[in-house]
Structures are given as C-alpha cells and as structure tokens.
Chain A
C-alpha cells in the first residue's frame, strides 16, 4: 500500500470565489486524521464529478484523492 493510499475525500461543498465564480471546496482526510480543504475551479470540479461517476457532491465522499489528480488531466 502506498503511504498516501488512504487519503480520501471527506466532503465537498460549493464556495464563492474571489472573482464571483462558484468553486468546489473538497475536504480531504489524510492518513493521520487531519482534514484539510482543496479548492477547485468549475472545470476541474465538474471533471472530478465525472471522474468519480458522482451525481451529487455527497457521492464524492470516500473517493481517493487521486481522483483529483485525474481530473486535472481531464479538463
């Protein structure tokens, strides 16, 4: 198992960006129990939903953080 294999998406919410665009705020739970946010723009946010096959933000929970990496290449 890779050291970071169990870093997973804890939750996701819509936030308001500085420029008036909606952003996707994804909270990651790290192996040591820490939870921290990653903010994604619309293109990457939608790509993450697609990558995870998620129909809603709740369905992102439990997916590996690597889905975000894949999404970066999917826009």
Chain B
C-alpha cells in the first residue's frame, strides 16, 4: 500500500517533457511510481483538472532567521516552494561564535529589515557551528532547506573584528578553509559571498575585505565537495559585473564548481546591461565554465516616504530640497503655504501631479488603515485635493511616516524579460525571499512566472517554466534527488491550477516577532503542496507536517 496517490492529474515531471495524464504514487517520502498506478493508498488526492509537478526550488532567500520559528518560511510554502536556499549574500547564521552574534544580527537587520525581537524573543541561540544551526532548524522544518555558508561568517569566526579591516594572512585563510570544510560536511550546500553588502553602520561586510587568493582558496574547498559559489557582484555596473563573470568562470574552470550570481534585472535606464551580461555568461558557458545568472521574475518597484528623501523627486527641485531638510525644518516647510504653493506649481509644470496618482499608499507605521492599498488618485479624489496636495497632506497628517509605492518602475518589460528568462543560460531566482520585508514583498515570484510569462506572454510553455524552477535549479545546485517526478526521487510535489496559479496583491501583515510588519503576497491557484511525501499545505491551510529536511 502506498502512503499517497495523486490521481487524475496532468503530470508535468520537471524535465520539460510534455505533460501527460496519470497518477503519482508516494511511499516513505519518495516517489514510488509515476503514470498509470495500480494499488491502494492511505490517502488519495484527486488532481483532476490540475497540474502535478515537482515542488519549486527558490535558490536565493534570506529565511535563515525566520525558519527558526517558522519552518514553512511562510508564505513561501503556499506558493509551491518546497526547497529554499538561505544563507545568500555572504550571510548565514553559522558558523557564529556567541561573542559575534550582535555584529551578525546587525548585518541581518540591514538586509532583512527584521525587528530586533526576531533575534531576541523568537528563538533561543543554541549553536555556534554549522552542525549546531542545522540541529536547531531541522526539527521544525515544513519545507526543505539547502543552506549556504556565508563567507562573512567564516571570516568573522577566524579573524574577529579584523574581518572588516584587512586582508587575511595565509594562516587565517587555511583556518577558513578548514571551517568551510567542516560546515559543508555538516550540510552546507555551498559558499556565498558579496561585493556590495554593508552592515547596519554602512561598513562593508567582512567578505568584501577578502582578496582573490582567499576566495580562490575557499573555492578549492568547494571543489572537494563539488559545491556551488554564490556571489553578489557590483550589479549596478555592467562592466564590473562582467569582470566578476569572468572571475567566476576562472574559478569554475579551475575548481570544477558551479557558480551563480544575483541579481540580474532589466532597467529601462540601462537597457544594454542585461543583454550584455547574458551574452558574456553564454561566452563563458561555451568555454565550459558554469556561471549562472539569477534573474528574478517580478518587476522592481520604488518605495519612499517623506521621512527619507527619494530620488523619485529628482525632477522637482523644490520638493527634493524641502525633503532633504532636517526633520523639524522639513515639517515646518511642508506647513508653509508659500513653499507648498511652489511645490504644487512645480509638480504641475513638470506633469508630475497626474503621474503621482498611480502611487499606492502603503503601510508605514502611521498609515491610516482606510488609505492603505489604495492609489493616491483615489484618496485625493475622496479628499477633494489634487494628487500632489494629497501626497503632502496625507504625509503631514501622519508624521511623514506613510510609505508610497511606484509600481513596476524597473524589470517590468515583459517583451524583454520573457525571452531572457526562457534562455537555457538564465537561472530563474533572486527572489530574496525573507529579505527587505518592510520595503516590498519577496514572495510569489514563482506564481508570477506562470501568470506573466506562461499565460500572458507565452515566452515559456508550462513545462519549460516548471523545469526552470525545479530540475534546472536542482541540477545547478547539486540537489541530486529533487526537482523531478520520477521513481526514487524525494516526494516534493505541488498540485496547481494552470489557469489561475499566480500571486495575490501585496499586503502588509504584522506577523513578525514583536508584531513587526512585513509585506507579503498570498498564492493563487495552489491546491496542495507535499514535502517529502507529507501534505504540508492543502485547501488554503498549512498542516502540522514537519517533514522538511536539510537537503544536500
């Protein structure tokens, strides 16, 4: 008898092969049979009219902290994500000496924007080494975790404060190699490093002080295990990114390792950049190197409030000069009729007043509930004001702590992005799940892949899209028994409606420790998610299943 049979669905097995009608049988957490399945099961799931696919894999997340109290990495699991890769961008939570916790918490808060309570109330620090971290997370996992080892952590462990001051000595590099070796043996999927991240004081994170010989030595260890190197290059500059691609290619060839970098996104302000980056990657692939660019599916938004001046106002000199004043003067100016009159006239002259109408009011700490989620145009009309008047007045009435969102400002041209996502050389990822939580939602990129690039633009077939975020990802990351529906593979399965899979609207929730706020998106079209053979999400609810593992 099987544990589970999923019947009558259309099986899209993750290989890119055309979907076919059939059943999937599961026993002991593994796929037991695919196709026409005879026999009985303890549980039968009717997937008629639905797609049955391997669970999705998200290769770029920062759920390191959240999975200590939320083993489902909500809402990642409900989007069909059954495996996440935390520890990106040089930052993991192990190996970490107790004496260095404060420093690393600062770095995480800078990236993740989590409230302090997330680090002081939500869990107990029980570990220092990587094996200890694994032991801390594994019992509570509802999804699988393939954790990266952060280069900054390795450096901090070996060098202490000097990790953010100088290059390492040969002896220190040797110690880092040993520590990485130990961490990989304990379940690390690879090493992450960063050339751009900063700590809470604006100082470069420790990995940025490494010289090339240090990274080369660490990649030598990755080569011993065939593990991956993840890098955040200077992505704001295409030339520097291309130089990093070339560097990664040399490391890949020398140590026979896969490498990946993120993010790559397409901006109308720099339209040549992403095609140049993809072209360079393809040149390096032709040499035999493995340098995978991670491209996100979702568009990039701009968010701002009057508490921190934004370049959104760069075309309006009176606005940005006013908003760059110290807070007290800024408030006074925004209440000065003459100044405001000049601001309003300037916005009108520059055709900005009308454009401001599409701004969406978001959940800043003081944002009035009745306004959150609505456009400025709607609110302005209700208030009997122009858009620019409403922007000023709503901010003033709420101590300037109201956030506004200009949606789809970058990486939003489907006609350019779709063909790039479809390329075999482009790795779909860079969701940043669990990071930037008070700025925008980093969840639902998989759903958006289907709604935007399968159903709307047709750049990928359903089968190609599934392959991209299942078997392709598993192969790139060396997750040997994941990403395909085939006998003996781990039974990570998602059942979804091809016609409706997508992402819901962005909304603010207060579910972080200490009632901290974050933006999330719910899933649409996901019926059931199984992790290692157990139903972890069904009919809109998370189950109590804790079948997730650290999988490498």
Q: How far is the CA of A46 from the CA of B309 in the complex (A)?
A: 9
When distances are taken between beta carbons in the complex, the residues of chain A under 8 Å from B267 are 15-16, 25
> Would you give the shortest CB distance from B425 to chain A, in whole angstroms?
21
Would you call B304 an interface residue if the criterion is a C-beta within 8 Å of the partner chain's C-beta atoms?
A: yes
- CB <8 Å contact, B269 and A22: no
Identity of the chain A residue whose Cβ is nearest the Cβ of B262 in the assembled complex: A18
Q: B439 is contacted by which of A19, A37, A49, A55 (Cβ under 8 Å)?
A: A19
Q: How far is the CA of A57 from the CA of B320 in the complex (A)?
A: 12
Write the A28-68 contact mask toward B (1 if CB under 8 angstroms, else 0).
Answer: 00000000111100100110010000011100000000000
Q: A14 is contacted by which of B263, B303, B314, B439 (Cβ under 8 Å)?
A: B314
Write the B256-292 contact mask toward A (1 if CB under 8 angstroms, else 0).
Answer: 0000000101011110010000000000000000000
Q: A16-B410, A25-B269, A56-B317 are in contact. Are A39 and B440 (CB under 8 A)?
A: no
Write the B106-147 contact mask toward A (1 if CB under 8 angstroms, else 0).
Answer: 000000000000000000000000000000000000000000
Write the B239-269 contact mask toward A (1 if CB under 8 angstroms, else 0).
Answer: 1000000000000000000000001010111
When distances are taken between beta carbons in the complex, the residues of chain B under 8 Å from A42 are 308-311
Q: A17-B300, A19-B436, A19-B439 are in contact. Are A24 and B317 (CB under 8 A)?
A: no
Give the residues from 1 to 27 in chain A that come closer than 8 angstroms, CB to CB, to chain B.
Answer: 13-25
Q: How far is the CA of A15 from the CA of B235 in the complex (A)?
A: 13
Identity of the chain B residue whose Cβ is nearest the Cβ of A11 in the assembled complex: B269
Q: A45 is contacted by which of B235, B300, B311 (Cβ under 8 Å)?
A: B311
Interface SS majority for chain B: mixed
When distances are taken between beta carbons in the complex, the residues of chain A under 8 Å from B508 are none
Q: B314 is contacted by which of A16, A19, A57 (Cβ under 8 Å)?
A: A57
Q: A16-B301, A16-B410, A56-B317 are in contact. Are A24 and B237 (CB under 8 A)?
A: no
> Would you give the shortest CB distance from B226 to chain A, in whole angstroms?
30
- CB <8 Å contact, A16 and B320: no
Q: A25-B270, A56-B317 are in contact. Are A20 and B324 (CB under 8 A)?
A: no
> Would you give the shortest CB distance from B297 to chain A, in whole angstroms?
14
Number of interface residues of B (CB under 8 A): 34
- CB <8 Å contact, B436 and A20: yes
> Would you give the shortest CB distance from A50 to chain B, in whole angstroms?
9
Write the B314-348 contact mask toward A (1 if CB under 8 angstroms, else 0).
Answer: 11010010001000000000000000000000000
Q: A15-B269, A46-B324 are in contact. Are A20 and B311 (CB under 8 A)?
A: no
Q: How far is the CA of A46 from the CA of B303 in the complex (A)?
A: 17
Would you call B20 an interface residue if the criterion is a C-beta within 8 Å of the partner chain's C-beta atoms?
A: no
- CB <8 Å contact, B436 and A23: no
Q: A23-B236, A39-B237, A39-B270 are in contact. Are A14 and B312 (CB under 8 A)?
A: yes
Q: List, sorted by A's number, 17 A–B pairs whose CB atoms are closer than 8 Å.
A: A14-B302, A16-B300, A17-B410, A20-B300, A21-B303, A22-B310, A22-B409, A24-B311, A25-B270, A37-B237, A37-B238, A37-B270, A39-B270, A42-B310, A46-B320, A49-B320, A55-B317
Given contacts A21-B311, A24-B314, 4 further A-B contacts (CB under 8 A): A20-B436, A22-B310, A24-B311, A42-B309
Q: Which residues of A contact B (CB under 8 A)?
A: 13-25, 36-39, 42, 45-46, 49, 55-57
